[in-house]
Amino acid sequence: MEECKLVYKIKRLIRQLGLPRWLHKYGPKTYETWHHLLALTVKSLCNLSYRFVVSFLRSLGFKCPAKSSLQDFAQKKLSQQLLRKILLILVKNKVYIAAVDSTCLQRTNPSYYYITKVGKIKRRIPVKFSALVDTEGRKFIDAVIRVLPAHDSKDGYSMIKRARISIKKIVGDKAYDSNKIHEECYAKGIEAHIPIRNYGKRVRHNKLSKRRLAQKHFNKRIYHRRSIIESMFHAFKKRFGDYVRSKKARMIRIEIY
C-alpha cells in the first residue's frame, strides 16, 4: 500500500523525537511505533473508541494492534515529557506574541445542567485545561491538565518557566497578574501585557515590584490578542467535544494532548 500523508508525518515526527523502531524490548516485533501512534492519532481525530478504531483501520488494510495493546501503549509509553516535546516540534522556535489562558472540560457526557435538572445531583469537578499558545501560528506551545482545582497563576508560571522557545511578548487576563509570573518574564526578557488587579487603595513603595513596572509598557491593543486563545478553545471543543471519555488522571492528560 502506498504511504499516505498522515503516515509520512508520523514517521517524520518519530525521527525528530529520536524514538526507536519498537518501544518494547521483549516480545515479538510485530507492530512498530508508528502503528501505535497512527491508531491513537486516528482515534483522537475521529473521536472513536479503542475497539472501533482497530476494526476501522484493519478494514482499510492497515496493520493495527489490538485494543488492549493500544491502551497499554498510551498508558505506559506516552509520558507528559514526550507529549510536550511533540508540541514543541510542531511550533516555531521564535514566537512574537504568546497568550496564556485556561478553560474547563466536563467529566461526563451529559452536561452538569442536565444532570441537575433530572435530579442526579453530583459534585461538579471539571477537568482544568491551561494552555500557552502562539497567536500568529495558532498552535499550542505547552499545556497543563489538572483534575483537581488550582489557581491559574500556578499553571501559567510553570508553562512560562518550562518554555524552551524565544517569546517576545505574552498576554493574559487578570488571573495571571502575579508577581512571580512577572519576575519570570523579566528574567527571560519577555514583555508581559497583563492587566493589573484592583486590590483597593494603592500604597506607594520606594521600590516597585515587577508587576508594577510591567504596567508602564502595558498596551491594550496587544492585550486584545488574548481573544485568539479563546477562539482556539472554542474550536477545540467544537471539534473534539467539551467532555473527556477517560476516568483516570493520566489517561485524561493523554486524551487531551
Instruction: For the chain, list the strands marked E by DSSP.
Output: 94-105, 127-134, 139-146, 166-171, 191-193
Last residue of a domain, one of 78, 100, 135: 78
- Per-residue DSSP letters for 155-181? HHHHHHHH--SEEEEEE--GGG--HHH
Q: Identify the pLDDT of residue 1.
A: 47
Considering the domain architecture, whether residues 108 and 34 belong to the same structural domain is answered as: no
Q: Total domain count for the chain?
A: 2
Cell of 42: 486516528
Residue 84 lies in a domain: no
Considering the domain architecture, whether residues 101 and 175 belong to the same structural domain is answered as: yes
Considering the domain architecture, whether residues 119 and 28 belong to the same structural domain is answered as: no
Q: Identify the pLDDT of residue 206.
A: 53
**Spatial separation of the C-alpha atoms in residues 201 and 226, rounded to whole Å:** 28
Which of 73-82, 95-104, 107-116 shows the highest mean pLDDT?
95-104
pTM exceeding 0.85: no
Q: Bigger pLDDT: 207 or 139?
A: 139
**Residue-range definition of the domain harbouring residue 208:** 90-256
CATH number, position 193: 3.30.420
Considering the domain architecture, whether residues 155 and 217 belong to the same structural domain is answered as: yes
Last residue of a domain, one of 31, 52, 78: 78
Instruction: Point out the least confidently predicted range of 85-89, 100-104, 117-121, 200-204.
Output: 200-204
Considering the domain architecture, whether residues 26 and 103 belong to the same structural domain is answered as: no
The DSSP call for residue 217 is G
Q: Identify the pLDDT of residue 99.
A: 92
Residue 247, classified by CB atoms within 10 Å of its CB into exposed (0-12), middle (13-18) or buried (19+), is exposed
- Per-residue pLDDT band for 112 (boundaries 50, 70, 90) equals low
Asked whether the predicted pLDDT for residue 2 surpasses 60, the reply is: no
Asked whether the predicted pLDDT for residue 120 surpasses 70, the reply is: no
Considering the domain architecture, whether residues 120 and 231 belong to the same structural domain is answered as: yes
Q: Which among 253, 226, 227, 225 has a CA at the least distance from the CA of 105? A: 253
- Per-residue pLDDT band for 152 (boundaries 50, 70, 90) equals confident
Cα separations (Å) of 10 from 13, 19, 129?
5, 11, 25
Residue 173 lies in a domain: yes
Give me the phi and psi of 82, to 5 degrees please.
-65, -40
